[in-house]
Amino acid sequence: MSTIQTTANGRQFPKFDLSRLLHSVFQPTLGCKICILIDLPDLTEAKGMAFLKNPARAVQGQAYRAFHQGLHNGVMEKLALKGGEMYAYKQTTGSNLDLPDECVDMEGNPLSLERDVYPNYDIILCISTFSATAPLTAFAKQYGFRGATLHGVNDVILNSGLAVDYEEVSRDAEKLRLAMTRADSIEIDFALETGEVLTAKLELSAQEAQKSHGLCRGTTPDVANLPAGEVYFVPTGAEGHFPMKYEDGTLGKLTVTGGCIVKSELIAGDQATIDAHNAKLLDDPMTGVLGELGFGTQVLPVSGADIQDEKVLGTCHLATGRDDHLGGHITPAQFKRHQNATHDDILFAPHKTPNFDIKQVRMHRGAQTEILIEHFQPSKYLLDALAAE
């Protein structure tokens, strides 16, 4: 099997193979019906696939070239699949917001996701700008399909995170899940360039750790988030402080109490960005609830898209907002404003947050304390867990 990319640490990846990916993730049975969903800001771009001429639709172009064309160039025949249609829905304004029902086919004909798509397919691939994992998981349980969300797909992701052996990804995720499961709490120390160290403590209440491992097999309705490779928890509480790098580069110091971000203070950058965040927290406090703590389990190259970069071993991330798709209890109905009912990851990784360091991550489990990460590197404890047979 030819390799096309080598990371800095020497790992090689096989060439992306859609047939191998679909077989590995879904193990589809004879006659499974499959389709592709994309999101578009303007649904008129779907007619005649006009979006392919728009350079701003890079993700949707990947959906067509790597997935739609792949299905129709031998993959459906090889895996005995049916269907292969592509539909577009109106792009939402944020990660994991509820999906609109209106959609169109590639001729621009108006359709309904709940009437014409969800009930009529066994496997649905959602390749979009914004993540649709939370709403699609709810629809999968309602209508009985399986699926995968692959938002932000680019060439690096195709040729690394989607080219890996998901049997191996699943095994490694399970090893690290067992190493962390039933933790009482996890503490994260963040070292700022000023020399200040911020510490956040996440209460986990000895819950079973969960894993995003990429396998979505059998008949149970479910949605895989690809690329996969993550161990995660739904925090039961949180206290302390952690830094956050905003989209404009502003760095803020966030105060967390009772499991919720209650305020942001400027460290560097634009005070207006901090003021806007504080106004949002005051207006709709549910936007500050910490709904996830996750740890990457794979050795992967940086892709520039959080969907892959949060799966890199040695990184960790928090997420605010809805967590019902993770087994939590925060649903869109609890937010004051519909547009705020997102699930937003806050990734801590060297390329993303170079102005502060993960000094140390510690796990407390009964009388046991283990270091998990130091300076964005996995600890001996985690590496030993991965090496175990």
Query: Is the pLDDT reported for residue 3 higher than 80?
Result: no
| Closest to 383 (Cα-Cα) out of 171, 366, 373, 208 | 373
In the predicted model, what is the mean pLDDT of the chain?
A: 94
173-207 tens-digit pLDDT: 999 999 999 999 999 999 999 999 999 999 999 99
Q: At what angle do helices 166-180 and 18-26 cross, to 10 degrees?
A: 40
Write the CB contacts of 10 (distance below 8 Å, at least 6 apart in sequence): none
> What is the chain's alpha carbon radius of gyration, rounded to the nearest angstrom?
21
What confidence category does residue 1 fall into, taking pLDDT thresholds of 50, 70 and 90?
very low
Query: Is the pLDDT reported for residue 11 higher than 70?
Result: yes
Which pair of structure tokens corresponds to residue 197?
Answer: 């160290």
96 vs 240: CA distance, rounded Å: 27
Instruction: Give me the CATH topology for the region 17-158.
Output: Rossmann fold (3.40.50)
Integer CA distances (angstroms), 215 to 24, 29, 118, in order: 7, 15, 20
What confidence category does residue 373 fall into, taking pLDDT thresholds of 50, 70 and 90?
very high
104-139 tens-digit pLDDT: 999 999 999 999 999 999 999 999 999 999 999 999
Torsion of Cα atoms, 237 then 241 then 242 then 243, to 10°? 140
- Domain range summary for the chain, segments of one domain joined by +: 17-158, 166-212+221-387
